[in-house]
Amino acid sequence: KKSREHTGRGPASGYAMIEAMRKDYSVCELCGALGLSRSGFYAWDTRKVAPGPRAVENQRIVAEIKTIHADRHMRCYGSPRITPELAERGLPCGENRVARLMRKEGLRGKLRRPWRPKTTKTDSKASPSPNLLKKEPAPTKPGEQLVADITYIPTEEGWMYLSVVMDLFSRLILGWNLSCSLSAEQTVRAIDQARLRLPIHPTAIFHSDRGCQYTSGPLRTALGKWKQSMSAKGYCYDNAFAESCFASFKTEMLPDSGCFHNKKQAHCAIFDYIECFYNRRRRHSSLGMISPQRYLEQYYNLQPQLN
């Protein structure tokens, strides 16, 4: 007499053995030999034809995950961001369950590319500003603290340079400019765009690295009464918020080849990513898995109640 413990597997494997041998032996004999109940076997046999409620729900969840991944932007999502997206679509479930179903279906988010900080071109004659951001508490309202940076965008026609200004409170990209050259003018244009998008505090902190674009006269004039803050020399991680933003950009926005075909394609892709996805739809872990635009709207909606 054998028992199912000898097989080293769970009941399902035993039921499969009974199914294969039931033509030669009775179900009662096989269940007795394997130490399984007949009711358990018949329930398993029924589920093969009509899946149980949880199996049906799993099928719905998997179908919705595939729909989410069919979106050209959300194909980068892994289980942490897929889970709240499903809940919003009427399918609340745990992150572990989502991760398990994604593994089973061979679905995965895009892994963040290894990031290597680029060398910042400094102006040895310009005087850097102190790091004010390091001493300040986290912002409590929009427009109090801004962070800025420039990153390289690869195209087959040559490098392009993306300058951004981000609101630290909401993580909203307030201003951005894509240029074929590293210049102070492109950072000034990003600042001008930021002013048009959100009311900035008159003495807001504007934090960046020590690049020559940020120590230039035109940029410092454009800041007006804003308080300029800079990272420590040679320590790019002081500007971690902007660096993290760029890491997400390059993981989620760049083609799989890692390079745009031409500069026009790069500009269209960056506009689409920032204006249509990053600001409006992308879920941020630091914001409770909602988008910057939605976080900002929730803040403004609460103000009448607080007042």
Kindly state whether residues 149 and 39 are assigned to the same domain: no
Whether 274 is covered by a domain: the verdict is: yes
Task: Report which listed range, 99-103, 108-112, 126-130, 182-186, is most confident.
Answer: 99-103
One domain, residues 238 and 100: no
Lowest mean pLDDT across 4-18, 42-56, 201-215, 274-288: 4-18
**Residue 207 covered by a domain:** yes
* Vertex 179 angle, CA 177 and 182, to 5°: 105
**90 and 216 share a domain?**
no
Question: Domain tally for the chain?
Answer: 3
In this predicted model, what pLDDT tens digit does every residue of 158-175 receive, in sequence order?
A: 999 999 999 999 999 999
Of 45-49, 89-93, 175-179, 183-187, least confident by mean pLDDT is: 45-49
Residue 19 near residue 38, CB atoms below 8 Å: no
Task: Determine, yes or no, domain membership for 114.
Answer: no
Q: Any idea what the CATH number is for the domain that residue 297 is in?
A: 3.30.420.10
- The tokens of 59 are what? 């099928």
Of 250, 247, 214, residue with least CA distance to 231:
214
Of the listed ranges 72-86, 92-106, 223-237, 291-305, the one predicted with least confidence = 223-237
Sign of the torsion angle spanned by Cα atoms 114, 117, 118, 119:
negative
Considering 90, 105, 120, which residue would you say is the last residue of a domain? 105
Domain that holds residue 273: 145-302
| 26 shares its domain with 160 | no
Distance CA 108, CA 224 (A): 46
Res 95 pLDDT > 70: yes
Q: Give the C-alpha separation, 185 to 175, whole Å.
A: 13
Contact between 247 and 112 (Cβ < 8 Å): yes
**Residues 257, 278: one domain?**
yes
pLDDT digits (tens, 9 = 90+) for 199-245: 999 999 999 988 889 999 999 999 999 999 998 876 556 677 888 88
pLDDT in tens, 24-62: 999 999 999 999 999 999 988 887 777 778 888 999 999
Q: Between 109 and 101, whose confidence is greater?
A: 101
pTM of the model: 0.77
Residue 5 per-residue DSSP state = G
Question: In the prediction, which pLDDT does 68 show?
Answer: 95
Structure-model confidence comparison of residues 286 and 305, the more confident one: 286
Same domain, 179 and 280: yes
Residue 39 maps to a domain: yes
